[in-house]
């Protein structure tokens, strides 16, 4: 299995480099960089040590150009690139390799909704019908056959995993109020004043509240697939963590239910899926999933309202880990291959 990484010097690209270096079914990694081609791949991440040496193939351990990567005919392409650029840059691979796009370019099929969220038409609209939303625990059957996989955003992953089973069961009504806390790596590695240590340390704020964040559209359109009567207020917050995401979701119940009945709904929906960890009776913490591909979920019924709590590592289950999980499902590898079930202490 030959795997290309596009955008290797970005955060999701760097995590992909580490995950694929440890993946038992990936023989060759082709790391592409538009800014640092020709340099050793290990210079992007000295912490990776010698791990990628055995998988360097024709690249000889160096970052390569897009053109060189196309000529190497990869089986799978991971695109850790900015929205609105990604689909265009991936074009030479469509129809030849399986493309797993970590950007939003294929996540919203409705052109108008995409334009509302991203300010322009989707970049490759003709390919949208072929793409599958890569929320692994929900769409595995479609992912198995897909050649374009739209890897979900971190906020949507953490919000949707606790909500979808309950929405599908007809248990929710009215407005879903989701408040999300994100680590700073969620906004990428590119230098920005707002991401500087002095701006973010000892500091927390909400941003793009209610219905204004671009992930609002992605989350609501997925919820609508299971219950079109539900509405959403989604407010993200930046917290002074490098990595990690917590979402607290509050929504009214359509009918009375107990905490045990909710547990059974989740168990029926997720079965023995390895990366959803139900932790009833606790309040999940980001440190427990740091570095793992897990989403920990708990809930509390309080009268006619249910509170949902979910945590992920934004760079793993929220991005590169879920992308590898998508590859595993698509190519019939063990779903957990190359991925950690445990957070790092």
Ligand X SMILES: NC(=O)c1ccc[n+]([C@@H]2O[C@H](COP(=O)([O-])OP(=O)(O)OC[C@H]3O[C@@H](n4cnc5c(N)ncnc54)[C@H](OP(=O)(O)O)[C@@H]3O)[C@@H](O)[C@H]2O)c1
Active site residues: 154
The site for ligand X (CB under 6 A) is made up of: 7-13, 33-36, 80-83, 85, 89, 102-103, 153-154, 185-186, 188-190, 314-315, 318-319
Least distance from C-beta 13 to ligand X, angstroms? 6
Q: Which residue is nearest to ligand X (CB)?
A: 10
Which residue's CB is nearer to ligand X, number 52 or number 262? 52
CA distances from 62 to 15, 18, 42, 133, 241 (A): 17, 15, 8, 32, 31
Which residue's CB is nearer to ligand X, number 34 or number 336? 34
Q: Is 308 in contact with 177 (CB distance < 8 Å)?
A: no
User: Both ends of the chain: CA-CA distance in Å?
Assistant: 32
Angle, alpha carbons 15-19-21 (nearest 5°): 115
The string of DSSP codes covering 48-102 is GTTTTGGG-GGGTTB-B-HHHHHHT--SEEEE---TTTHHHHHGGGTTTSEEEE-
Least distance from C-beta 68 to ligand X, angstroms? 13
Residue 241 tokens read as: 């963590």
Residue 186 tokens read as: 């969620």
Which residue's CB is nearer to ligand X, number 87 or number 169? 87
Least distance from C-beta 34 to ligand X, angstroms? 3
Least distance from C-beta 56 to ligand X, angstroms? 17
Closest Cα to residue 32, out of 54, 10, 1?
10
Which residue's CB is nearer to ligand X, number 109 or number 189? 189
Least distance from C-beta 344 to ligand X, angstroms? 17
CB environment 171-197: b (16+ within 10 A), e (fewer): bbbeebbbbbbbbbbbbeeeeeeebee
Which residue's CB is nearer to ligand X, number 154 or number 163? 154
């Amino acid at each position: 299995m030959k795997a290309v990484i596009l955008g290797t010097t970005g955060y999701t690209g760097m995590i992909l480099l580490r995950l694929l270096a440890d993946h038992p079914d990936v023989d060759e990694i082709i790391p592409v960089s538009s800014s640092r081609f020709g340099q050793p791949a290990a210079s992007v991440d000295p912490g990776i040590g010698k791990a990628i040496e055995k998988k360097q193939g024709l690249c000889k351990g160096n970052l390569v150009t897009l053109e060189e990567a196309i000529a190497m005919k990869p089986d799978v392409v991971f695109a850790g690139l900015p929205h609105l650029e990604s689909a265009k840059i991936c074009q030479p691979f469509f129809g030849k390799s399986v493309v797993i796009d970590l950007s939003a370019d294929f996540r919203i099929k409705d052109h108008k909704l995409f334009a509302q969220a991203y300010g322009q038409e989707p970049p490759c609209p003709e390919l949208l019908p072929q793409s599958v939303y890569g929320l692994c625990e929900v769409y595995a059957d479609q992912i198995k056959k897909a050649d374009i996989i739209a890897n979900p955003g971190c906020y949507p992953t953490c919000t949707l995993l606790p909500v979808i089973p309950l929405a599908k069961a007809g248990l929710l009504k009215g407005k879903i109020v989701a408040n999300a806390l994100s680590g700073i790596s969620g906004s990428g590695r590119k230098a920005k004043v707002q991401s500087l240590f002095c701006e973010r340390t000892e500091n927390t704020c909400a941003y793009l509240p209610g219905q204004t964040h671009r992930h609002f559209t992605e989350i609501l359109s997925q919820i609508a697939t299971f219950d079109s009567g539900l509405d959403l207020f989604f407010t993200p917050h930046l917290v002074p963590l490098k990595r990690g995401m917590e979402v607290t979701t509050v929504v009214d119940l359509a009918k009375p239910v107990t905490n045990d009945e909710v547990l059974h709904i989740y168990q029926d929906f997720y079965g023995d899926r390895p990366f959803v960890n139900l932790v009833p009776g606790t309040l999940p913490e980001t440190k427990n999933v740091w570095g793992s591909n897990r989403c920990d979920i708990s809930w509390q019924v309080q009268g006619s309202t249910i509170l949902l709590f979910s945590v992920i590592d934004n760079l793993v289950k929220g991005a590169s880990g879920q992308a590898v999980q998508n590859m595993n499902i698509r190519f019939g590898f063990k779903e957990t291959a190359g991925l950690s079930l445990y957070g790092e202490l």
